[in-house]
Amino acid sequence: ATPDGMVDVLAVTPPAAVPWPRWIAPALAWAPMIIGLIVSSVAAAFLVRQQWMHHERLPYPIAAATFSLIDDPEPGRRLPPVMCTRAFRGAAALAFLVVGWRGLAAMDWVTVTIPLEVELHTAFQGEPWSRAYDYWALMMPRIYFCMVGLAFLVPLDLSFSLWFFFLLTNVVTMWLRGDGHPVEWHHVREVGFGGFIAIAPLVLWLGRTWYGRVALACLGMTRDPLARAAAPWLWATIAGLVAMTVWLIANGTPPLTAVLAIATLAAAMLVIARTLAEAGVPHLGFPYDITTFMYATFGFGLPAGALMPLALIGMTLLDPREAVLPYAVNASNLADRAAVPMRRLGLTMIALALVATVVAGASMLFNAYDGAGHLDGFRPSQFEIDKVAVRTTEAGLASAATTRSEDLWAYGLGAGLAWFCGIARFMLAWWPVHPLGIGLAIGYPGSLAWGSFLLAWLIKSLVMRYGGVGLYRSLVPAAIGLIAGEAAAVCVFGLAKIIVTGVFAIPMLPYVNALPG
């Protein structure tokens, strides 16, 4: 649209070359935020390593499965030990064949597919089922071999919580709506985000002794060799967080708001990393927008000039799949298993991340100017600008003020529930649920994979009850095989598309989805 009305764009002629000098100033303007994020993320991964791996002994399911696939073979063999087991080979073959067959069906090469979802909508139509929080996901449990394998590797209370809180949320929502309470979708998501972000102080409290020792080492007040080795990572984490905070202040955010915004971002990244280390969920989405939480709490009522820097966080750092910290945490575990020197690895990771940022940025600019830029249909920049625009108009602010108390109560309810479950878990050995399940269940991963979590929990419960630890250990290779088989099948279709369309110029479907959903 233009001031004169709508126009049709027939073609856009790209410039002859990328004006690289003109992009130097924007790159330097973003440098404190990007470098601060990379440094603080990698440093935090090595800061929590000792606490999470050796004190709390978290399972790191993804790292454990990955390491078993790249482990050194036994003498006289060429493959890692796990690949030599019948359980692994059978499970990997099953997952590969099923997913591969589904991919062929998606391309119409075969007429019959293998269902990995159970369609219950026709059996449960109308009231009260339609009052559920996520009716379509509730009535469509899906089986992902990767999720089943990973959930099999985590403790039972955690795998139980991953599906229990999803079902509980839907049941409670049905009951409240049936009782006349106007529970909206965003209220449920706000409860989930409150429970999600509240995990961060629980994680820090659980490791308070270790982090206190590292802080003393930073001040030269202890000779603990482990704490002294971790002290540079604490300094680097603080430096990165300070750089991001100063960047927000320099771009117009009030100092206190900037501090709270970076603290919220750091807490969210910490919880994502903790989830990866403890639950092994590879695709973790925030239950709700982090910037919406900021606008409703410490950013409420601020002018557009103060909110725009916060919107930049949502534009560039909103998708947790692109976060650095979870990957760094996973890499630190693999490095520990392989006895790699930590300081050298950490510095190498920071350097490579910075180089990758430059290469990715240059590639993005080149493709955009060349007319080959990639669009995925979602424009977070416009989404965030619209949110700021709505909240800074008189009518928009008045509307937000009328619902703010509901939003704060929802966030608080989720946080209180997470803290209650966390404290109960600290104090009671028999406590059956894990607080991580709150944030994971009320969100995209929980909606898609709750059926997989339920299946994994049922299988492991039966194994532990009737077969004991010995049977469980013998089935661990099968769980890893499910992960490897599904991943291999998906990779085959990806490589096939690259070769068929790129090398032989044979048209294929733009997207082949061999997985359910």
In a domain, 83, yes or no: no
Checking if the pLDDT of 379 tops 70, the result is: no
pLDDT in tens, 177-206: 999 998 999 999 999 999 999 999 999 999
**DSSP output for 290-332:** HHHHHHHTTTTT--HHHHHHHHHHHHHH--GGG-HHHHHHHHH
Q: Which sign, positive or negative, has the C-alpha torsion 8, 14, 19, 25?
A: positive
User: Could you tell me if residue 193 is inside a domain?
Assistant: yes
Q: 132: domain range?
A: 20-59+115-368+386-466
- Is residue 269 a part of any domain in this protein? yes
Given the structure tokens 């501090």, which residue do they identify? Answer: 259
In a domain, 64, yes or no: no
Q: State the pLDDT confidence band at 373, using cuts at 50, 70 and 90.
A: low
Position 173 in a domain: yes
Q: Is the confidence at residue 106, as pLDDT, over 80?
A: yes
Q: What is the pLDDT of residue 164?
A: 96
Residue-wise pLDDT for 108-160, tens only, equals: 889 999 999 999 998 999 889 999 999 999 999 999 999 999 999 999 999 99
The 3-state secondary structure of 218-265, one letter per residue: HCCCCCCHHHHHHHHHHHHHHHHHHHHHHHHHHCCCCHHHHHHHHHHH
- What's the pLDDT band for 25 if we cut at 50, 70, 90? very high
Contact between residue 112 and residue 105 where contact means Cβ atoms under 8 Å apart: yes
Q: Is the pLDDT of residue 402 over 90?
A: no
**Residue 276, in any domain of the structure:** yes
Summarize pLDDT for 312-341 with one digit per residue, the tens. Answer: 777 766 565 667 888 899 999 999 988 888
Per the structure, how many domains does the chain have? 1
| Average pLDDT of the segment spanning 211-233 | 95
- pLDDT tens, position by position, 461-504: 999 999 999 999 999 999 999 999 999 999 998 888 788 887 77
Say what percent of the chain tops pLDDT 70.
Answer: 93
In a domain, 100, yes or no: no
Q: Once rounded to an integer, what is the mean pLDDT over residues 99-113?
A: 90
Q: CA-CA distance, 404 to 410, in Å (whole number)?
A: 10
pLDDT, tens digit, for every residue of 442-463?
888 888 999 999 999 999 999 9
Q: What is the pLDDT of residue 5?
A: 66
Instruction: Give the per-residue pLDDT at 381.
Output: 66
In this structure, is residue 96 part of a structural domain? Answer: no
With a cut of 90, say whether residue 281 has pLDDT above it: no
CA distances from residue 42 to 49, 72, 324, 340 in whole angstroms, order as listed: 11, 27, 7, 16
What pLDDT score was predicted for residue 234?
97
- Give the tokens for residue 38: 């990379």
DSSP SS3 for 142? strand
